[in-house]
Amino acid sequence: MSALEKISSNKVFEGELAKYKFKSAALGGLDAQFNLFLPKNPTGAKVPVLVYLSGLTCTEDNGAQKGGFFGIAATQNIAILLPDTSPRGAGVPGEDDDWDFGTGAGFYVDATKPEYSKHYNMKTHITVELPQVIEAAGLPIDFKRQSIFGHSMGGHGALTLYLSSKTKQYRSASAFAPIANPTKCPWGEKAFKGYLAGGIAEAVDNYDATELISKRTEPVHILIDYGTADNFYKQGQLLPENFLKAARDVGYDEFQVRVRSQEGYDHSYYFISSFAQDHIHCTFDFDYL
């Protein structure tokens, strides 16, 4: 297992935001970077962690710089883990041709098409590799107490990684403007046909939150916010109503699945930072939903 290298550190809200890199086996031996916020922790005891997954074109830095997460996380004594959105430098032909596929657009899947399967394994990178690498480094994170949230493509990732986990890895999931029914929208169709040998059919059972919630019976804790002025919502890329209908059809109530439309908000980090406090509060305090 590759050792972590700390490449930067900043004090923020009395805690530390550190950037690390390591050689990622899940990503085919490429360098991977992530940011980790640790609250002030004089005792050195392990703290719970909230994983943040960014959207299309983003890196590990967008949420760290613009999300507005760290102040409220510090008051709750929660760490924030911010991974990248894709492998970097895989050298797959065409991976840099479009902004919504390839580099910066890993869609949090494990690719099964041969040309992508060596490097594009963001699901394994997020759910297995990062916890192992961080624990091996001795950082004070309690991965038995973790939840996950994300934005847009990252909201899709948060919902699907939460709903597909057979080990109940995450205690809750929340999402800002998620791609909530990706097998029914252009972004998701393009990604799944590109990464998966089975295309849309393979994605339905593994990477579509609306399909996954429709087959769940166990208790869930999910919060979704989207803005009514979001152009991608208007274009039919997000489809939060489909997710809500599927959840209600199988009996999930307002406590277990809450989907909120926020009047006049768009797809930007201004929207995310406006509701960041709600999402961090609900991470481990389900009554807040």
Residues labelled catalytic: 152, 230, 267
Quote the CA–CA distance of 79 and 37 in Å, as a whole number: 5
Which structure tokens are listed for 25?
């086996």
Residue type, 155: G
137, 12, 59, 159: CA torsion to nearest 10 = 80
Q: Which amino acid, 191? A: A
| Structure token digits, residue 224 | 């979704």
The answer to whether the CB of 126 falls within 8 A of the CB of 53 is: yes
The CA-based diameter of the chain, rounded to the nearest angstrom, is 50
Number of helices followed by number of strands (H, E) in the chain: 12, 9
Inter-CA distances, 122 with 33, 157, 164, 174, 283, Å: 13, 10, 14, 19, 22
- Which residues face 148 on adjacent strands? 51, 173
